[in-house]
Amino acid sequence: MNIPAASDNNAAPELVHVGKVTALAVIAALGGFLFGYDSSVINGANKAIYERFDITDGFFQGFVVSVALLGSAVGAFVGGRLAEKYGRKRVMLIAAVLFLIAGVGSAFPFAIYDFMGWRLVGGFAIGLAAIVSPMYIAEIAPAHMRGRLSSLFQFAIVIGIFATQVVNQVVLNAAGGSASNALGPIEAWQWMFILMAVPATIYFLLAFTLPESPRYLVSINAGDRAKQVLESIFIEPVGAKVEAIRQSLDAEAKPSFADLRGKRSFFLPIVWVGLALAIFQQFVGINAVFYYSNLIWEAVGYPPAEAFTTSTIISVVNVVFTVVAILLVDRVGRKPLLLVGSVGMAITLAIIAWVFVMAPQSANGTPDLSSTQGYVAVVALCGFVAFFASTWGPIVWVLLSEMFPNSIRAAAMSVTVMANWIANFIVSETFPELVHVSLGLAYGLFTLFAVLSFFFVWKWVQETRGAELESMEQLEGIDLDEAATA
């Protein structure tokens, strides 16, 4: 199961303008920052929102938190098609505007359903960003830098999550320790949402400076413009690259979701692999940590201020170990990192589950942790986040942005990223109810999926390190001609 140059790093790397391509990738990755901010800002505001709108039902509480993910699934589903029709740059601009609107709207709702509507808008923007940002980065990055540059998207996500924790804590402290308290003319939780307008505006302005993706330009028969973009990145002649893109795209056939169909199953094998990666990334429970961590720590006995501090520490771990992934992804490869991550997540999640199962239950049914058990739980949770951040967090986005052939990339990414958000919704919606049953059960299920993810990667995931995007058809199981006649 080999891809030319996928694991052969003996060839000299191409000469590129490193500063130029890095700057383009950083700007595109700002969509990930807003992805992280918008998806996790609810962690600091959820309790105040429940109180403001008198929401006591556990299922509805979960739905209020996770409703944005339905918007993300829709945004991901249509994002690929929009990127193919209107270009990567225009979709990034649309996402920036929607982030701005969602932040302001969420800060000033008239009722809970109004609030949920604005969260849907923000979720739709997240779905668009999750498609177009990694796609753009993969399409402008040289093969030998693509892993590191694509990992910037995940790095931007974790920076966005960390920024949310910092902003929420600053706002909370200024409001006297409660997100429901007034801070100036509005309540503290409203500031948490409205401040998203700042990075959304910056993203919009900087996205204007980006050139369009050369692969999109070739697809609309703008080869001269594509050549200009590639010449701004590569030092050596790029004529052969333009021709390789043109041949791989096969301009005679317009991409569609029908191209994902296989002859022997509903999807091509490579699409099934992408779907499984996207689902496993969520079913290990990472977003249960970032959406509900404050509530979890308060439930097991931490005062609100300490719960916030603990969540901030976890966010710092998330940032630091995402840097580790960026440093390793093009040296070690994608598959080895995923395997290590699965083992590490399984061990740390099992420890967390064991702590919650062994702890005595309080009167309200939650674990009553001793100081030692609390310390072990926090350390294990930090370990889980460290393993996820250095492996499954960024590597899945790298693989989804590069593993599909050019001719199906947009459609395949739409389907797989949509699956990622649906899986995220399932976890986020069911987690509060699972917590009411048993925190040990919740983390036990996450442990099971971490174990299963190891065997899936071992069996089915192929290494793509160093491969040109135009060579991805040679992954085992891809036969596009066969699929087209199926």
Residues in CB range of 372: below 8 A, 6 or more apart: none
Q: In the 3-class helix/strand/coil scheme, how is 375-397 assigned residue by residue?
A: HHHHHHHHHHHHHHHHCHHHHHH
Q: Does residue 484 carry a pLDDT above 70?
A: no
CB 397 within 8 A of CB 153: yes
Taking Cα atoms as reference points, which of 275, 333, 281 lies closest to residue 460?
A: 275
Is residue 251 very low, low, confident or very high in pLDDT (cuts 50, 70, 90)? very low
What is the average pLDDT score of the chain?
A: 84
Taking Cα atoms as reference points, which of 260, 229, 215, 271 lies closest to residue 406?
A: 215
Q: Does residue 273 carry a pLDDT above 70?
A: yes
Taking Cα atoms as reference points, which of 105, 129, 100 lies closest to residue 115?
A: 105
Q: What is the pLDDT of residues 25-53, one digit of tens each?
A: 999 999 999 988 998 888 788 889 989 99
Q: In the 3-class helix/strand/coil scheme, how is the chain assigned residue by residue?
A: CCCCCCCCCCCCCCCECHHHHHHHHHHHHHHHHHHHHHHHCHHHHHHHHHHHCCCCCHHHHHHHHHHHHHHHHHHHHHHHHHHHHHCHHHHHHHHHHHHHHHHHHHHCCCCHHHHHHHHHHHHHHHHHHHHHHHHHHHHHCCHHHHHHHHHHHHHHHHHHHHHHHHHHHHHHHHCCCCCCCEECCEEHHHHHHHCCHHHHHHHHHHHCCCCCCHHHHHHCCCHHHHHHHHHHHECCCCHHHHHHHHHHHCCCCCCCHHHHCCCCCCCCHHHHHHHHHHHHHHHCCHHHHHHHHHHHHHHCCCCHHHHHHHHHHHHHHHHHHHHHHHHHHHHHCHHHHHHHHHHHHHHHHHHHHHHHHHCCECCCCCECCCHHHHHHHHHHHHHHHHHHHHCHHHHHHHHHHHCCCHHHHHHHHHHHHHHHHHHHHHHHHHHHHHHHHCHHHHHHHHHHHHHHHHHHHHHHCCCCCCCCHHHHHHCCCCCHHHHHCC
Tokens standing for residue 91 = 């979709």
Q: How far apart, in Å, are the Cα atoms of 293 and each of 140, 198, 315, 428? A: 37, 25, 11, 12
Is residue 447 very low, low, confident or very high in pLDDT (cuts 50, 70, 90)? very high
**pTM, 2 dp:** 0.78
pLDDT of 277 reads: 96
Is residue 429 very low, low, confident or very high in pLDDT (cuts 50, 70, 90)? confident
Q: Does a structural domain hold residue 2?
A: no
Q: Count the domains in the chain.
A: 1
Task: Give whichever of 81-90, 375-384, 412-421, 459-468 has the largest mean pLDDT.
Answer: 81-90
Tokens standing for residue 15 = 């000469």
Q: Does residue 337 carry a pLDDT above 90?
A: yes
Q: Higher model confidence: residue 20 or residue 165?
A: 20
Q: Does a structural domain hold residue 93?
A: yes
Q: Does residue 11 carry a pLDDT above 60?
A: no
Phi and psi at 211, nearest 5°, equal -75, 160
Q: Higher model confidence: residue 214 or residue 330?
A: 214
pLDDT of 7 reads: 39
Q: Does a structural domain hold residue 12?
A: no
Residues in CB range of 85: below 8 A, 6 or more apart: none
Is residue 6 very low, low, confident or very high in pLDDT (cuts 50, 70, 90)? very low
pLDDT of 263 reads: 67
Taking Cα atoms as reference points, which of 140, 135, 152 lies closest to residue 17?
A: 140
Q: Does residue 110 carry a pLDDT above 80?
A: yes
CATH number of the CATH domain containing 48: 1.20.1250.20
Q: Does a structural domain hold residue 8?
A: no
How many whole angstroms separate alpha carbon 8 and alpha carbon 464? 10
Q: Does a structural domain hold residue 9?
A: no
pLDDT of 53 reads: 92
Task: Give whichever of 77-81, 107-111, 244-248, 470-474 has the largest mean pLDDT.
Answer: 107-111
Among 99-103, 196-200, 470-474, 478-482, name the one with the lowest average pLDDT. Answer: 478-482
Q: What is the pLDDT of residues 118-141, one digit of tens each?
A: 999 999 999 999 889 988 998 998
Is residue 432 very low, low, confident or very high in pLDDT (cuts 50, 70, 90)? confident
Q: What is the pLDDT of residues 394-410, one digit of tens each?
A: 899 888 878 888 777 77
Among 226-230, 421-425, 437-441, name the one with the lowest average pLDDT. Answer: 437-441
Is residue 440 very low, low, confident or very high in pLDDT (cuts 50, 70, 90)? confident
pLDDT of 293 reads: 66
Q: Does residue 150 carry a pLDDT above 90?
A: no
pLDDT of 28 reads: 96
How many whole angstroms separate alpha carbon 55 and alpha carbon 43? 16
Write the burial class of residue 265 (CB in 10 Å: 0-12 exposed, 13-18 middle, 19+ buried).
exposed
Q: Higher model confidence: residue 58 or residue 279?
A: 279
Q: Does a structural domain hold residue 81?
A: yes
Domain range enclosing 365: 18-484
Q: Does a structural domain hold residue 344?
A: yes
Q: Does residue 13 carry a pLDDT above 50?
A: yes
Is residue 413 very low, low, confident or very high in pLDDT (cuts 50, 70, 90)? confident
